[in-house]
Amino acid sequence: MENNNLIDLKLECSIIGYLIENSNLNEFDNIINLIGDNEKVFFEKKNRILFNTIKYLKEQKNIIDIITVIHRLRVINDKEITPEYVINCVQSVTQSHNIKVHIFILSELYFRRSISDLGVKLALKASDFNKDILQILLDAEEQIKKANSLILSIKKSQEL
């Protein structure tokens, strides 16, 4: 069960809108790199699809704007995301000079969800007496190391 305090769909949509509207800025690549290959920072599936669409257009050296994003969604036959949703994301952009802070908040929410999910999974495994307790602890330690590595990489990218 998801903790609603760890989800901010308006923030996600605003970041997507920023990426669509500001693809011509010099810092666009740095902004995309802050998120990297981890589209899972976006809780909402629509926003993950939009992020991957923007990355695809960028990799293909295509123009990124509302029209090209909506067109690409048609090409990949995505019926879940309406043009109105894309337009709403662009219109939801607030102070664009805060985009790095917004991405940090989005990343923090993702890591908090991941840690929460890890805790739930760990609790379920711990209550199953058919599972080896040492293996449960080793698995938990490995997951924590992965999460820590991701957090450090985000902190480093913010220093750029």
pLDDT tens-digit map of 48-83: 999 999 999 998 999 999 999 999 999 999 889 999
The whole-number pLDDT of residue 153 equals 67
The whole-number pLDDT of residue 99 equals 84
pLDDT tens-digit map of 133-142: 999 889 888 8
CA 139 – CA 46 distance, rounded (Å): 31
Q: Which two tokens stand for residue 66?
A: 């509302």
Which residues touch 4 (CB under 8 Å, ≥6 apart)? Answer: none
Which of the residues in the chain have pLDDT under 70? 1-3, 36-37, 95-96, 150, 153-160
Per the structure, the count of domains in the chain is: 1
Among 41, 18, 40, CA closest to 30: 18
What sign results for the dihedral spanned by CA atoms 45, 49, 52, 54? negative
> DSSP readout, 76-115?
TT--SS-HHHHHHHHHT---GGGHHHHHHHHHHHHHHHHH
pTM of the prediction? 0.80
DSSP H helical ranges for the chain: 9-21, 28-35, 45-59, 66-75, 83-91, 99-126, 133-158
Q: What is the CATH number of the domain that holds 43?
A: 1.10.860.10
The whole-number pLDDT of residue 1 equals 47
Q: Check if the beta carbon of residue 108 is closer than 8 Å to that of residue 21.
A: no
Residues in the chain: 160
Q: Check if the beta carbon of residue 16 is closer than 8 Å to that of residue 51.
A: yes
The whole-number pLDDT of residue 32 equals 78
Range of the domain at 142: 4-158
CA 125 – CA 29 distance, rounded (Å): 41
